[in-house]
Structure 1
Amino acid sequence: MTIRDAPVVDWTGRFDGFAAAEASLDAGELDEFGQAAWFVGRDEVSERAWERAHLRYLDDGDLAAAVRCAFWLGFTLGEHGQFVKANTWMARLFELCARGAGDPRIEAFEAVLRAHATFAEGRVAASEPLYRHAAELADAAGDGDLDTLATMGRGRALMVLGRFEEGVAALDRVMLLIGTGRVSDRAAGPAYCAVIASLLARGDLERARTWTRELGDWCDAQRGLEPFRGECTLHRATVMQIGGEWDAAARAADHVRATETRTDTLANAWYRLAELRRVTGRVAEAGDAYREAARLGREVHPGLALLHRDAGELDTAWRGLERARSAVNDPATRAELLAASVDVAIDRQRIDDAEAAAAELATWADAFGDVVYLRALSARAAGEVAVAQGRAAEAASRLRTAWMLWRRLDAPYDAALTRVLIGCAARRAGDEEGAQLEFDAARSVLEALGAVPDLARLERVAAPSGPDGPAAGLSRREREVLGLVARGWSNRQIAEQLFLSERTVARHVGSILAKLGVPSRSAATAYAYANGLAPSA
Structure 2
Amino acid sequence: MSALADGREAYAQRRWPDAIGLYTAAEQDAELTAGDLERLAIAVILTGRGPDGVDILGRAHLRYLADGDHSAAVRCAAWTGLNLILLGEPARSAGWLARARRIIDDVPQPCPYEGLLFIPAGLGALYGGDGTAAAEAFTRAADLGRERGDADTAALGTLGLGQTKILLGQFPDGLALLDEAMVAVTLGEISPVPAGIIYCAVIETCRLAFDLNRAHEWTRALDRWCGAQQNLVYFSGQCQMHRAELYRLHGAWAEALDAARAAQELAFRGDRMATYGGFYEQGEIHRLRGDFDAAETAYLHAEETGFPAQPGLALLRLAQGRPDQAQSLLRQAMDTVDPAYRRRMLAARVEIELAAGDARAARAAMEELASLCASLDMPMLHALAEQSEAAVLFHEGSPEASLVLLRRAWSRWLSLDAPFEAARCRALLASLCAALGDEESARLERDAARAVFFELGAVPALPVLERSAPAGLAAPPAPVPVSRNRGDDAPAGPLTARETEVLRLVSAGLGNRDIAAELFISEKTVARHLSNIFTKLDLTSRTAATAYAYRHGLV
Q: Structure 2 length as normaliser, TM-score?
A: 0.74
Alpha-carbon distance, 1:74 to partner: 2.2
2:424 to 414, 417, 421: 417
The verdict on how the C-alpha distance between 1:69 and 1:322 changes in structure 2, with shifts beyond 3 A counting, is closer
Residue deviations 1:166-193, cap 9 Å, x none?
A: 2222111111111222112222001112
CA contact (8 A) 1:387 1:424 kept: no
Q: SS state of the match for residue 290, structure 2?
A: coil
CA contact (8 A) 1:116 1:153 kept: no
Which residue in 1 is equivalent to 2:224? 217
Which residue in 2 is equivalent to 1:342? 350
The verdict on how the C-alpha distance between 1:368 and 1:274 changes in structure 2, with shifts beyond 3 A counting, is farther
1:309 to 294, 309, 318: 318
Alpha-carbon distance, 1:317 to partner: 2.7
Q: SS state of the match for residue 373, structure 2?
A: helix
1:59-70 alignment runs, 5 A limit: 59-70=66-77
**Matched letter for residue 406 of structure 1:** W
1:145-184 alignment runs, 5 A limit: 145-184=152-191
| 1:236 is aligned to 2:281 | no
Residue deviations 1:228-263, cap 9 Å, x none?
A: 244443233223322223222222323343553688
CA contact (8 A) 1:268 1:298 kept: no
| 1:358 is aligned to 2:366 | yes
2:23 to 6, 18, 27: 18
Distance 1:49 1:131 in 2: 28
| 1:114 is aligned to 2:122 | no
Q: SS state of the match for residue 60, structure 2?
A: helix
| 1:449 is aligned to 2:456 | yes
Distance 2:139 2:226 in 1: 29
Alpha-carbon distance, 1:265 to partner: 5.2
Instruction: Give the stretch that moved more between structures: 412-421 or 252-261.
Output: 252-261
Which residue in 2 is equivalent to 1:287? 296
CA contact (8 A) 1:77 1:86 kept: yes
The verdict on how the C-alpha distance between 1:448 and 1:115 changes in structure 2, with shifts beyond 3 A counting, is same
Which residue in 2 is equivalent to 1:438? 445
Distance 2:227 2:69 in 1: 34
The verdict on how the C-alpha distance between 1:437 and 1:37 changes in structure 2, with shifts beyond 3 A counting, is same
Distance 1:35 1:293 in 2: 28
The verdict on how the C-alpha distance between 1:344 and 1:35 changes in structure 2, with shifts beyond 3 A counting, is closer
Instruction: Give the stretch that moved more between structures: 193-202 or 312-321.
Output: 312-321
Distance 1:305 1:288 in 2: 14
Q: Which consecutive unaligned segments of at least 5 residues does structure 2 have?
A: 1-11, 470-523, 525-555
Alpha-carbon distance, 1:336 to partner: 4.7
Larger radius of gyration: 1
Which residue in 2 is equivalent to 1:321? 330
2:90 to 83, 86, 91: 83
The verdict on how the C-alpha distance between 1:452 and 1:336 changes in structure 2, with shifts beyond 3 A counting, is farther
Aligned length in residues:
452
Instruction: Give the stretch that moved more between structures: 69-78 or 253-262.
Output: 253-262
**Matched letter for residue 67 of structure 2:** D
The verdict on how the C-alpha distance between 1:162 and 1:337 changes in structure 2, with shifts beyond 3 A counting, is closer
Alpha-carbon distance, 1:277 to partner: 0.7
Q: SS state of the match for residue 223, structure 1?
A: coil
The verdict on how the C-alpha distance between 1:58 and 1:280 changes in structure 2, with shifts beyond 3 A counting, is same
Which residue in 2 is equivalent to 1:511? none
Q: SS state of the match for residue 326, structure 1?
A: helix
Which residue in 1 is equivalent to 2:215? 208
Residue deviations 1:327-372, cap 9 Å, x none?
A: 34434x4345432233344445655554343233322x33543233
**Matched letter for residue 301 of structure 1:** Q
Residue deviations 1:102-126, cap 9 Å, x none?
A: 34xx24x213313533552655423
**Matched letter for residue 424 of structure 2:** L
Q: Which consecutive unaligned segments of at least 5 residues does structure 1 have?
A: 1-6, 463-500, 502-537
Which residue in 1 is equivalent to 2:7? none
Distance 2:409 2:227 in 1: 35
Q: SS state of the match for residue 102, structure 1?
A: coil
Distance 2:238 2:108 in 1: 37
Q: SS state of the match for residue 447, structure 1?
A: helix
Which residue in 1 is equivalent to 2:80? 73
Which residue in 1 is equivalent to 2:14? 9
2:193 to 186, 191, 203: 186
Alpha-carbon distance, 1:406 to partner: 1.7
Which residue in 2 is equivalent to 1:527? none
**Matched letter for residue 314 of structure 2:** A
Alpha-carbon distance, 1:282 to partner: 0.3
Distance 1:100 1:408 in 2: 57
The verdict on how the C-alpha distance between 1:85 and 1:405 changes in structure 2, with shifts beyond 3 A counting, is same
The verdict on how the C-alpha distance between 1:372 and 1:26 changes in structure 2, with shifts beyond 3 A counting, is same
The verdict on how the C-alpha distance between 1:178 and 1:395 changes in structure 2, with shifts beyond 3 A counting, is same
The verdict on how the C-alpha distance between 1:437 and 1:279 changes in structure 2, with shifts beyond 3 A counting, is same
Distance 1:50 1:187 in 2: 15
Distance 2:439 2:45 in 1: 62
The verdict on how the C-alpha distance between 1:28 and 1:304 changes in structure 2, with shifts beyond 3 A counting, is closer
The verdict on how the C-alpha distance between 1:98 and 1:218 changes in structure 2, with shifts beyond 3 A counting, is same
CA contact (8 A) 1:387 1:425 kept: yes
Alpha-carbon distance, 1:393 to partner: 3.0
Residue deviations 1:470-510, cap 9 Å, x none?
A: xxxxxxxxxxxxxxxxxxxxxxxxxxxxxxx9xxxxxxxxx
1:126 to 99, 108, 133: 133
The verdict on how the C-alpha distance between 1:327 and 1:75 changes in structure 2, with shifts beyond 3 A counting, is closer
Q: Structure 1 length as normaliser, TM-score?
A: 0.76
Distance 2:165 2:435 in 1: 46
Q: SS state of the match for residue 336, structure 2?
A: coil
Distance 2:353 2:132 in 1: 38
1:36 to 33, 40, 43: 43
The verdict on how the C-alpha distance between 1:304 and 1:60 changes in structure 2, with shifts beyond 3 A counting, is closer
CA contact (8 A) 2:62 2:73 kept: yes
2:393 to 380, 386, 389: 386
Alpha-carbon distance, 1:398 to partner: 0.6
| 1:141 is aligned to 2:148 | yes
| 1:275 is aligned to 2:281 | no
Distance 1:126 1:324 in 2: 25
The verdict on how the C-alpha distance between 1:454 and 1:46 changes in structure 2, with shifts beyond 3 A counting, is same
Q: SS state of the match for residue 377, structure 2?
A: coil
Residue deviations 1:419-450, cap 9 Å, x none?
A: 22222222233322222222233233322322
The verdict on how the C-alpha distance between 1:20 and 1:264 changes in structure 2, with shifts beyond 3 A counting, is closer
Which residue in 2 is equivalent to 1:523? none
Instruction: Give the stretch that moved more between structures: 221-230 or 317-326.
Output: 317-326
**Matched letter for residue 117 of structure 1:** A
